[in-house]
Each structure stands twice: as C-alpha cells, then as structure tokens.
Amino acid sequence: MSQLYLGEFEEIVLLTVAVLDGKAYGMSIIDEIKSRLGRNVSLGAVQTVLKRLEEKGMVSSDFGEATAVRGGKRKRYYTITSTGQQSLTVMKEQRMALWNALPHPFALNFI
C-alpha cells in the first residue's frame, strides 16, 4: 500500500496526466491544472512531481516533437501506467469510504 500512496499534489498531477491522455508534458499539465482547478503551479513543482511519479513507476515518458518556441528542445510526454491507475483507484476508494462514513446530517449541512 505504501508504494501506492500519493501526496495531494502528486494525485493532482497524476490525474491530470491521465486526463490529458498522451498529450501531457510540463507546460500542458500546468495549463490543465490552471484551467480546471484555478491553481497556479510552478514548473519546478510539476517537474519534481513528474520525476517522482516516474521513479515510483506510476507514469512512463517518451520524447516528442521539438518546436521553435521551445528553442528546438523536445517535449517529454507522460502517460499513466497501470500502477498509476491502480494507485488513483485506491486513493479514490479510500476517499469515498471516508465520505460515506460521514454522519448524514453533518454531510448534508455543508455539501
């Protein structure tokens, strides 16, 4: 289980990689997080988490195309692995279990 554990930001980045479905690279992940969550994240934070997720085997990566605005440097595209999918599923189930365990009046009060 400890191998499948994800921090809050790791979970967000991993979900975003899954959402982008093969088109996830540094900048596109930042854009997606900003547009969906309204959260500004730095390139450093995203790249650090991507390296960590890759080390844990939750994402895999391949080089893509280079463009002029990137100074001729290639993009590195990330895709979610089966371990990553399994981890997200476990995280979701755990959260749902916690949500379902909430006393109803309390849950209804603030949802």
CA distance 87 to 81: 10
- Per CB under 8 A, 107 contacts other proteins: no
Nearer to other proteins, 63 or 99 (CB): 63
Q: Which CB atom, from 61 or from 83, has the smaller least distance to other proteins?
A: 61
23 binds other proteins (CB under 8 A): no
Q: How many distinct helices (H) and strands (E) make up the chain?
A: 5, 2
Selected from 76, 79, 83, 90, the binder of other proteins by CB under 8 A is 76
Pairing of strands 74-80, 59-66: antiparallel
Number of residues that bind other proteins (CB under 8 A): 23
Instruction: Output the CA–CA distances (angstroms, integers) from residue 32 to 50, 86, 95, in the order listed.
Output: 15, 22, 23
Stretch touching other proteins by CB under 8 A, among 36-44, 80-88, 92-100, 102-110:
36-44
